[in-house]
Structure 1
Amino acid sequence: MEILTDYAGFLLKLASIVIAIGVVLAMISNSKGKSRSGSLSVTKLNDSYDQMKSELDQQLLDKKALKEKAKTRKKQKKEEKKTHKKMHSLDAENIKKRLYVFDFDGDIKASAVTTMREEITAILSVARPEDEVVVRLESGGGVVHGYGLAASQLQRIREANIPLTVCVDKVAASGGYMMACVADKIIAAPFAILGSIGVVAQIPNVHRLLDKNMIDVELHTAGRYKRTLTMLGKNTDEGREKFKQDLEDTHDLFKRFVSTQRPALDIDAIATGDTWYGSEAVDNRLVDQVMTSDAYLVSHYEQADVIHIAYKQRKAMSERLGLSLFSAFEQKAVAWISKVIQSRGY
């Protein structure tokens, strides 16, 4: 009991401090009313690749070989400059193709679309028709409206007449494949999972449990199909049929979208909800080529500038401080409990 009393007192003091700081931060935030903005990170991947090669050469080659390689590289650069002059270019950078790369790691809500839309907007402000956009996509799918918006964002690239390539190293299923099929070209690793062109929904129902315990649930709606299935009330056959029909309608919409983007597909044969590995997906034309995203990017390092784009959303001060306070609270609580246990000899 003494330990519990001490612990309760400690928690009460700490909670009071946290609440006081939270109130002050909320007041500051409301008074300023500033909107949160993000920052764009731009990284030239060629430089990282060249640095790795240089470090390996330093470790593996002797001085003579290093000198010879540097001489060869200098000669290559000189030849490149001559080529550019012959093409009457004042700036070689304006001729060299650019690959703009960004990542989409999708959850069930397609939350990453928030940053993806900013990345696409930034790319489209500078991209030229001879450039290319590469999306490294990973998603097992999720809600229809979320992934519908994500696919629509990728369509902006196609509408701007910029070549779009989607690389799938692990999974692009269901809503993930809905996004991927927008691309001019889909590249998948041999064991990446693709497909799952289907729709699924499940709702638990505890009506019998509530009825057994004499608990009534009232549900009032205006509109015949405002609520088809419910978790708490008794479901009807009519409601079930309407719910199933909604799923079928969504599936038909999904199929039409994929078929429009990739007309060579036998949509009825592959829209069964089944999935395929990358090496198999080539045969049914779900993908165009089997290769990892790393191999694809490396193959362009010599001919193009490969630029990685990442938009990072700034968190509000209250959020950042909240996480810090939670972490501090956790550390202090663990330290206090450990001290009590040691002092009591437990």
Structure 2
Amino acid sequence: MKDFMGNYSLFLAKALTIALTVSVVLAIGVAILESDNDSSAGYISVKKLNDRYEAITLEMKKHLLSADEYEKAAAVADAAKEAAEGEKAGRKRVFVLSFSGDLAASAVAGLREEISAVLGVATPEDEVIVRLESGGGMVHSYGLAASQLQRIRDRNIPLTIAVDKIAASGGYMMACVGDRLVAAPFAIIGSVGVIFSTPNFHRFLQKHDIDYEQITAGEYKRTLTLFGQITEKGRDKTIAQVQAVHDLFKQFIAAHRKSVDMEKVATGEFWYASQALNLKLVDELMTSDDLLRARSRTADLYEVTWQPNQTLSQQLSASVRLMVSDLFMGLWQLAAESRYQ
């Protein structure tokens, strides 16, 4: 078994090397061909979720009911749809957006386009639901993402945030902007804290007689760096800066969730939503699926998504990232399973 795993690991490593080599060559060629193209534009995609839910329900009934019962159910569904169309002028609209955040909150590029599109048609009688998943990241990036959500609040349009897995640190900074925050019971919530960390190679360079020169103008232009000598003054300044950011974070949350006891929640800890409910960090325990299904009974739901135009090189890059991810996951899965053999 060990020989098999060793050979399989070697095979995956070779496959990864070949894949990377081929992808680099192709990427260079495609980049040359597309060097004059503008890939910055995109378009807004709008899908009515009510239609999707109705189609799923009918498909289930098709397999569970007799032919006569199914025909009756389909007729009832058609009649209900026609009635809803007739009431469309006075029917509430719910716009559904999604945000999945990385460390740089790079999804804000699409979020800002989606919000701009929604604000062009939405009224205070409508609602925006944002399905949010993020463990946080860079302060300025998540500050911008939260500001994009604030645009909805500033128009007096009800904003509901739904969290199924995680809204922590910068992710929670976004989530607290909502008028209402719902989360699945085991979603990770909170982590109201700030972290700064960096390795320092100054002593390593000294040990090998390597000089590192850094010239700055401004007393605190650089405090803690990778290669410079760490000083007490620089460390103290960095601590003060981190604390200042934490204070801003707490002020932001306090402004949006006035009932929260900041002394209890601003410790950097995280909680599961069932615990966070008692701390008033969330308003209700519910999955985004149940929330949307409930809204679909009384409103028209529109899923709004920004679709950036991708060049061939960008599509190739995405495919390569997926392939590399699958290879690494294969190795990880093999290693995990080997522990139980």
2:33 aligns with one of 5, 25, 40: 25
1:42 to 39, 46, 61: 46
1:315–1:212 CA distance, 2 compared to 1 (3 A):
same
Structure 1 position 25, deviation (Å) = 2.0
SS at match of 1:204: coil
Q: Determine the structure 2 residue equivalent to 1:199.
A: 194
Q: Is the 8 A contact 2:48 2:300 kept in 1?
A: yes
- One of 258, 265, 270 as aligned partner of 1:270: 265
Distance verdict in 2 for CA 1:126–1:241, change over 3 Å = same
**Structure 1 residue 24, shift from structure 2 partner:** 4.6
Q: Report the aligned-residue RMSD.
A: 2.9
Contact 2:39–2:310 under 8 Å retained in 1:
no
Q: 1: distance between equivalents of 2:81 and 2:64? A: 23
Choose 1 or 2 for highest CA Rg. 1
5+ unaligned residues in a row in structure 1: which ranges?
1-13, 85-90, 328-346
Question: How far has the Cα of 1:234 moved from its partner?
Answer: 1.0
Q: Name the CA distance, whole Å, in 2 between partners of 1:243 and 1:162.
A: 39
2:274 is aligned to 279
Quick one: distance in 2 between partners of 1:315 and 1:70? 40
The 1-side partners of 2:321 and 2:266 are apart by 46
Q: Which moved more, 1:160-169 or 1:309-318?
A: 309-318
The structural deviation recorded for 1:322 is 6.6
CA shift for structure 1 position 120? 0.3
User: How far apart in 1 are the matches of 2:321 and 2:188?
Assistant: 38
Q: SS at the partner of 1:108? A: coil
Residue 235 (structure 1) shift: 0.6
Question: Among residues 165, 168, 174, which one is paired with 2:163 in the alignment?
Answer: 168
217 and 304 in structure 1: CA distance in 2 versus 1, 3 angstrom threshold = same
What is the deviation of 1:247?
A: 0.2
**Counterpart among 235, 241, 254 of residue 240 in structure 1:** 235
* 1: CA distance, partners of 2:97 / 2:24: 43
Aligned to 1:92: 87
* Corresponding position of 1:309: 304
TM-score (norm. length: structure 2): 0.82
Contact 1:25 1:318 in 2 (8 A): no
Counterpart residue type for residue 234 of structure 1: Q
Among the aligned pairs, what percent are the same residue? Answer: 47
> What displacement does 1:68 show?
4.0
Q: 1:21 to 1:183 in 2, by over 3 A?
A: same
Aligned to 1:57: 61
* Matching residue of 2:3: none
AA paired with 2:33? L
1:59 Cα deviation from its structure 2 partner: 0.9
| Secondary structure of 2:165 counterpart | strand
Q: Structure 1 residues 16, 254: closer, same or farther in 2, change over 3 A?
A: closer
Stretch of structure 1 that moved more, 200-209 or 61-70: 61-70
Aligned length: 305
8 Å contact from structure 1 (residues 255, 267) kept in 2: yes
Report the Cα offset of residue 316 of structure 1.
3.5
Q: 2: CA distance between counterparts of 1:210 and 1:119?
A: 49
Amino acid at match of 1:262: R
